[in-house]
Amino acid sequence: MKRKAELKMPTTSQLEAELKRERHKHRYHSVLRSTIYILVVVAAVAILVATLWLPVLQISGNSMTPTIQNGEIVFSVKYSDMEPGDIIAFYYNNKILVKRVICGAGDWVDIDEDGTVYVNGDELKEPYLTEKALGDCDIELPYQVPDGKIFVMGDHRSTSVDSRNTVIGCVAQEQIVGRISFRVWPLNRFGAVR
């Protein structure tokens, strides 16, 4: 007759070690699950904030140089009161354009041959420009901005296509994405945009 193999009972220390391992495994899964939930919620909130209040834009083109350059990444803030001098982003033909507000509804704009801009007969002070130019202008000057619209121009006046051209025209309030407020990339130009 063969002897049946004896069943060995685990020792107390072996039971304690196994219990400790199971508790650790359960705690690990719980922490992992809660971390994933937190990351999903944070990502959803970040997307919501970026979409509704602080759209992030990458600049494409040179119409706003030297203020904002091609490839830079900026934040825009959604609000409706645009002042002359503000830089705004707006929708145009499924694209987002970035230009500077010159004046609002009812104002008269005039631009002379050397590119000096006059609003309601007063010369506009534009310290942000490196050069003035009449640029691509096919509107009849002086020009009165229609109700509910704003007149915008790029800072690189010789190349910018903006409200001076009937292709773009004046910008309606519902087209506005927001006011460009902050540059985040490149890091050497990190800071407020003016």
Q: Residue 159 is part of a domain; what is its CATH number?
A: 2.10.109.10
Instruction: Kindly name the residue from 4, 20, 99, 125 that is annotated as catalytic.
Output: 99
My answer on whether 21 and 81 are in the same domain is no
Classify residue 6: in a domain, yes or no.
Answer: no
Classify residue 133: in a domain, yes or no.
Answer: yes
Q: Are 97 and 90 a contacting pair, CB within 8 Å?
A: yes
Return the pLDDT at 49. Answer: 64
Return the pLDDT at 66. Answer: 76
Return the pLDDT at 173. Answer: 84
Instruction: Kindly name the residue from 63, 76, 160, 163 that is annotated as catalytic.
Output: 63
My answer on whether 68 and 124 are in the same domain is yes
Q: Are 115 and 160 a contacting pair, CB within 8 Å?
A: no
Classify residue 122: in a domain, yes or no.
Answer: yes
Known active-site residue 132: no
My answer on whether 80 and 139 are in the same domain is yes
pTM: 0.65
> Which range of residues forms the domain containing residue 107?
57-192
Segment holding 62, helix H or strand E: none
Return the pLDDT at 4. Answer: 60
Sheet strands side by side (includes 122-123) = 122-123, 117-119, 108-111, 143-144
Return the pLDDT at 90. Answer: 83
Classify residue 1: in a domain, yes or no.
Answer: no
Return the pLDDT at 3. Answer: 59
C-alpha 86/C-alpha 108 separation (Å) is 18
My answer on whether 106 and 164 are in the same domain is yes
Contact partners, residue 175, CB within 8 Å, separation at least 6: 90, 91, 92
Q: What is the pLDDT of residues 120-146, one digit of tens each?
A: 888 888 888 888 887 788 888 888 888
Segments of the chain scoring below 50 in pLDDT:
none
Classify residue 117: in a domain, yes or no.
Answer: yes
My answer on whether 159 and 69 are in the same domain is yes
My answer on whether 137 and 187 are in the same domain is yes
My answer on whether 101 and 148 are in the same domain is yes
The count of domains in the chain is: 2
Known active-site residue 99: yes
Return the pLDDT at 133. Answer: 80
Return the pLDDT at 52. Answer: 61
**Count of helix runs (H) and strand runs (E) in the chain:** 1, 12
